[in-house]
Amino acid sequence: MHKITVKAEIEYDVHIGGAWRSYLETVLSAHKKVLIIAPAFIASSAELRSLTEANDHILFITPDGEAQKDYATAESVWNLLGENDFGRTDAIVGIGGGATTDLSGFVAATWLRGIAWYAIPTTLAGMVDAAVGGKTGINTGSGKNLVGSFYSPQSVCADMSWLQTLSDRDFAAGLAEVIKTGYIRDLSILTLLDSVDSIAMVREHALDLVAKSVAVKAAVVSGDFKEGKLREILNFGHTFGHAIEKRSGYALRHGEAVSIGLHFAAILSESELGFSSSDTDHLAKLLEKFGLPTVLLKNEYQWSELLALMAGDKKSRDGRIRFIGLRAPGEPDWIEAASSDTLTATYEKILL
């Protein structure tokens, strides 16, 4: 088991390889009332029901996937907290993928201006990214995570047994964030992934990969919790990725959209930061080896719509679209002044 500490507005531990049941029992016994937010397949488990029914704890069954990160779901949770007189010493636990922990943290941040919350991520993407770092939020019609708060959990428990519940497609989507982490800070992640040939083989290294990825995220977040600048390196692949994810109507997994975004950002880095084209090819092949998409069909999306979405992204400043790129693997940098011609040419290079 690994314990990694994040130093944000509070200091908290991420327990990697911990057992979620005993972790949850400890949380439930520390608070009089706890609201557990989980999707149906988790909330319906007899185990979870028996753990919650013992006291005044409550279960909220959240919709699956990105759909739960909306105002209506947040409002339903606020109503439930109100009906059950949740006070400042009560708590929320989010058990699920990144959408569930983002929603859980957001309602915890906003209820009574902030009550304690805990995260039990059940997906690879949740373990290495969403549940760690204290970014909480919901989506609006205009884009992803536009309403939210920086609000850290009290602790996080990443139990590897959840990963067995993931399809290879979902596991691969999480790997996109792991690969991103390798490219921005920890080349040993890339060496490990270069040495294996299938998702089944990667699964055997899950504990190591999660620990390495969380260590990078913890170090970056501890240095810049509120994303003054350094934390933005975690957004490598996300400027274009978020636009694709939104435009796909969330049909693409976040990690799949990020995978295409990583390829886009690598090609853009060639012209803007001198990244080598052989390193771009390596990045694309690594993603493709695990079944992740790196290209788009010619008429799949309207470039003008993607541009408009990128300009409206949180990462843009005064309408200027900002990207994180690479000078070399492990050397991220900011791209703030790419011309519209360069962006169009980069887009054309990822079209089939």
- Which residue ranges make up the site for ligand GLY (CB under 6 A)? 129, 133, 135, 231, 234-235
Residue type, 273: L
Question: Both tokens of residue 100?
Answer: 């569930």
Residue type, 329: P
List residues bridging with 331 in a β-sheet.
328
Query: Could you say which DSSP state residue 21 is in?
Result: H
Residue type, 133: G
Distance CA 45, CA 62 (A): 14
Query: Residue holding tokens 């690598």?
Result: 266
Distance CA 117, CA 29 (A): 14
| Residue 205 exposed, middle or buried by CB count within 10 Å (0-12, 13-18, 19+) | middle
Which residue's CB is nearer to ligand GLY, number 36 or number 257?
Answer: 257
| Residue 237 exposed, middle or buried by CB count within 10 Å (0-12, 13-18, 19+) | buried
Work out how close the CB of 234 gets to ligand GLY at its nearest, in angstroms, rounded to a whole number: 4
Which residue's CB is nearer to ligand GLY, number 129 or number 256?
Answer: 129
Question: Both tokens of residue 334?
Answer: 């900011």
Work out how close the CB of 223 gets to ligand GLY at its nearest, in angstroms, rounded to a whole number: 12
Which residue's CB is nearer to ligand GLY, number 196 or number 215?
Answer: 215
Work out how close the CB of 141 gets to ligand GLY at its nearest, in angstroms, rounded to a whole number: 21
Work out how close the CB of 100 gets to ligand GLY at its nearest, in angstroms, rounded to a whole number: 15
Which residue's CB is nearer to ligand GLY, number 135 or number 247?
Answer: 135
Work out how close the CB of 98 gets to ligand GLY at its nearest, in angstroms, rounded to a whole number: 9
Query: Residue holding tokens 């703030």?
Result: 336
Work out how close the CB of 230 gets to ligand GLY at its nearest, in angstroms, rounded to a whole number: 10
Residue type, 34: V
Work out how close the CB of 351 gets to ligand GLY at its nearest, in angstroms, rounded to a whole number: 27
Distance CA 100, CA 43 (A): 12
Work out how close the CB of 313 gets to ligand GLY at its nearest, in angstroms, rounded to a whole number: 13
Work out how close the CB of 3 gets to ligand GLY at its nearest, in angstroms, rounded to a whole number: 20
Work out how close the CB of 129 gets to ligand GLY at its nearest, in angstroms, rounded to a whole number: 5
168: helix, strand or coil = helix
Which residue's CB is nearer to ligand GLY, number 31 or number 231?
Answer: 231
Which residue's CB is nearer to ligand GLY, number 90 or number 129?
Answer: 129
Which residue's CB is nearer to ligand GLY, number 230 or number 295?
Answer: 230
Distance CA 65, CA 87 (A): 28
How many Cα atoms occupy the beta-carbon half-sphere of 93 within 13 Å? Answer: 29
Smallest CA-to-CA distance from 30 within 125, 133, 154, 119 is with 154
CB-CB contact of 92 with 31 (8 Å): no
SS (H, E, C) 3-20: EEEEECCCEEEEEECCCH
Which residue's CB is nearer to ligand GLY, number 78 or number 334?
Answer: 334
Distance CA 314, CA 243 (A): 11
Which residue's CB is nearer to ligand GLY, number 81 or number 260?
Answer: 260
Residue whose C-beta lies closest to ligand GLY: 234
Which residue's CB is nearer to ligand GLY, number 116 or number 234?
Answer: 234
